[in-house]
Chains A and B, each alone.
Chain A
Amino acid sequence: AAGVIQSPRHLIKEKRETATLKCYPIPRHDTVYWYQQGPGQDPQFLISFYEKMQSDKGSIPDRFSAQQFSDYHSELNMSSLELGDSALYFCASSLEFSEQFFGPGTRLTVL
């Protein structure tokens, strides 16, 4: 069965640079979520989209923005990167209120 696809899997950036993370949800899923997991921490909700509209916002810095496109894929844009942004970024998708299925994550390292 098709799963959530995230790209890239690994990304290394310098401080103050910009990064774009992509997420391709499971086909026919209409909801996408972004989570950030720091070292030794639980995943923290960042933002979600339902039918291409932002539906909920968590602890997402103003330097980050995201959107969901007409084909339901989503992109998380991160600017002015800081050392503390180094983390695993997970995307999950679901069909309305059903269970969220997670992608493999993007490991972002900021040097």
Chain B
Amino acid sequence: DQQVKQNSPSLSVQEGRISILNCDYTNSMFDYFLWYKKYPAEGPTFLISISSIKDKNEDGRFTVFLNKSAKHLSLHIVPSQPGDSAVYFCAASDSTGTASKLTFGTGTRLQVTL
């Protein structure tokens, strides 16, 4: 039962354009969402997060949007750069307990072309 889904396994975007990565979740108890970037043979690198009390969080070129009613979040990267090419994982947690585990999506491979 995949509680966090990233329906696009891959995405190709031209350098300088906007990259939009999407994520859907089914568990209504999730209240904290994160995006991680992962290069091969490395651990996931934290990018940006958002709490369910907000609908938008911005950090430099990265913006995360949360639509709670649709149980959907998206990561916008503007402008996209070749160094952004990696696998992006959406993750969610239920922070009501201690040490909230992350439930990951299946990942989207982003390729930024010149």
Contacts and interface: CB of A to CB of B under 8 A. Distances in A.
Contacts of A55: 97-99
A42 B105 contact: yes
Contact of A102 (B44, B98, B100, B103): B44
B46 A104 contact: no
Contact of B42 (A33, A92, A97, A105): A105
Contact of A105 (B43, B100, B104, B105): B43
User: For chain A, which range describes its interface: under 10, 10 to 19, 20 to 34, or 35 or more residues?
Assistant: 20 to 34
Interface in A39-59: 41-45, 48-50, 55-56, 58
Contacts of B99: 31, 33, 48-50, 55-56, 94
A103 interface: yes
A100 B105 contact: no
Contacts of B49: 99
A44 B102 CA distance: 8
Given A33-B102, A56-B101, A42 B89 contact: yes
B43 A48 contact: no
Label chain B's interface by main secondary structure. Answer: loop
Contacts of B41: 104-105, 107
A102 B38 CA distance: 10
B34 A99 contact: yes
B102 A100 contact: yes
A64 interface: no
A33 B46 contact: no
Interface of A: 4, 6, 31, 33, 35, 41-45, 48-50, 55-56, 58, 90, 92, 94, 97, 99-105, 107
5 contacts: A4-B43, A44-B104, A55-B99, A99-B34, A102-B44
